[in-house]
Amino acid sequence: MSDLLPWLIVALLAALGAPLFALIAAAALIGFHAAGYDLTVVAVEFYRLSELPGLIAIPLFTLAGYLLGESGAPKRLVRLSNALLGWLPGGLAIVALVACALFTAFTGASGVTIVAMGGLLFPALAHAGYRERFNLGLITSSGSLGLLFAPSLPLILYGFVAGQLGTDPPVTVESLFLAGLLPGLLMVGLLSLYAMWNGRHLVAETRKFDARELRDALLDAGWELPLPFLVLGGIYSGVLAASEAAAVTALYVLVVATLIKREIGLRKLIDTMSEAMRLVGAILLILGVALALSNWLVDQEVPSRLFEFLQEHVDSPLAFLLLLNLFLLVVGMLLDVFSAVVILVPLLVPVALGYGIDPVHLGIILLANLQLGYFTPPVGMNLFIASYRFDVPVTKLVRSCIPFFLILAFAVLLITYWPALSLALVR
């Protein structure tokens, strides 16, 4: 009983909404204490945060994302997508999907997408004649779309956590950036088809392709246009490591926003930078204490025991993956993506390796699933953010999201059982 008491206290604190990093730290402290170790080990493990190569990618990409969000970039991005795709049936809806995906890739699915892009896109969609429920579902579900595209923070984080497990084949941030490309496109593609079907009758919305507007929009977004090429081109061509691409991107965005476009002044710059570092601090604290927890798991051989247990009951990789999908759906609903990655990866990667699943593929499955969790009823975080932002009840949002949920769930299944989709560009 006395062994159980500390765990019960942690569970209680968790239920009461204590910060996750503190809970993970408590779990590590209790675990190491029960194993009879000097608890200084927990501090030593946390300090390993300063040993992870390329970790600067996290603060620098976050800075770039926050600066983009504070600048006029979202507006210009929407204008350009509209000029490019607006003439398609369902064009504006596709614009919304593409713009949200790109924006999320840079800002992480921290709810910024719904607030910043939703404010632009929701009125436009309504004006074009789309049904309200469709619009609500689209914006809410797009809030996490783009999680699989470089340089999304969850992808980078998975790279660090799985990378330090020393797997064979290895996991690198660069390989994840490649692996996420096709699955991410699949999700955007499937949702686009649904959007086209929804917009097929909206004659008012279908407008002619306007070369002059496209040219103007291109010029307007001229400074943002090189960004995806800078990030993706730099990394995929092998010229830049992920951390270097982060530095170049952050510097570029900083110079454009403050010196060229002059959309961000000194005071706002400091506010934006410190705001970005508060998020980075929150994420890195979780990562640091998770290093300690995962070290306890490795020390106590929990992953191998879990694998032995699972192997008795689950014989095929296929069955394992199905179970994994269901499990992740629940986890994704309850936990934010960062905590889910740092807590689950050290447990799941060794088990998945035992079933012969490539750890890079596992990462894509994991993130695709967690993306779904963002708007899984009843407690997916984006449901609450959208509810707050658009002032509609959560129940209405849940109903609106159902078709989008089903489509993306189908995409997740495809991604899970078709490894080549993730691995074709990597291995």
For other proteins, the closer CB: 60 or 321: 60
Residue 21 interacting partner from other proteins, Na ion, none (CB closer than 5 to 8 Å by kind):
other proteins
Question: Which position has the token pair 């926050």?
Answer: 66
CB 419 within 8 A of CB 368: no
For other proteins, the closer CB: 59 or 137: 59
Considering only residues 364-383, where is the footprint of Na ion by CB under 5 A?
Answer: 381
Structural Rg of the chain based on CA atoms = 22
Per-residue tokens: 319: 């069955």
| 54 touches other proteins (CB under 8 A) | yes
Name the residue type at position 104.
T
Binding string, residues 166-195; x marks residues near other proteins by CB under 8 A: x-x---x-x---------------------
| 419 touches other proteins (CB under 8 A) | no
| 248 touches other proteins (CB under 8 A) | yes
Which residue of 295, 325, 369, 416 would you call a contact of Na ion, by CB under 5 A? Answer: 295
| 286 touches other proteins (CB under 8 A) | yes
| 265 touches other proteins (CB under 8 A) | no
Q: How far apart are CA 196 and CA 217, in angstroms?
A: 23
Q: Which stretch binds other proteins (CB under 8 A): 142-150, 181-189, 310-318, 376-384?
A: 376-384
Query: Exposure string (b/e) for 399-424, b if CB count within 10 Å is 16 or more?
Result: ebbebbbebbbebbeebbeebebbbe
| 53 touches other proteins (CB under 8 A) | yes
Q: Work out the number of other CB atoms within 10 angstroms of the CB of residue 396.
A: 14
Binding string, residues 312-351; x marks residues near other proteins by CB under 8 A: ----------------------xxx-xx------------
Cite the beta strand spans of 127-266 per DSSP E. Answer: none
Using DSSP's 3-state secondary structure scheme, residue 199 falls into: coil
| 192 touches Na ion (CB under 5 A) | no
Residue 17 interacting partner from Na ion, other proteins, none (CB closer than 5 to 8 Å by kind):
other proteins
Report DSSP state, residue 264.
Answer: S
Per-residue tokens: 46: 């946390």
Q: Is 343 exposed, middle or buried (0-12, 13-18, 19+ CB in 10 A)?
A: buried
Q: Work out the number of other CB atoms within 10 angstroms of the CB of residue 391.
A: 7
Binding string, residues 63-92; x marks residues near other proteins by CB under 8 A: x----------xx--xx--x---x-----x
**Residue 378, CB half-sphere, CA atoms under 13 Å: how many?**
2
Asked if the peptide bond before residue 378 counts as cis, ω within 30 degrees of 0, the response is yes
Which residue of 87, 384, 417, 418 would you call a contact of other proteins, by CB under 8 A? Answer: 384
| 82 touches Na ion (CB under 5 A) | no
Residue 121 interacting partner from Na ion, other proteins, none (CB closer than 5 to 8 Å by kind):
other proteins
Q: Which residues are near Na ion by CB under 5 A?
A: 291, 294-295, 381
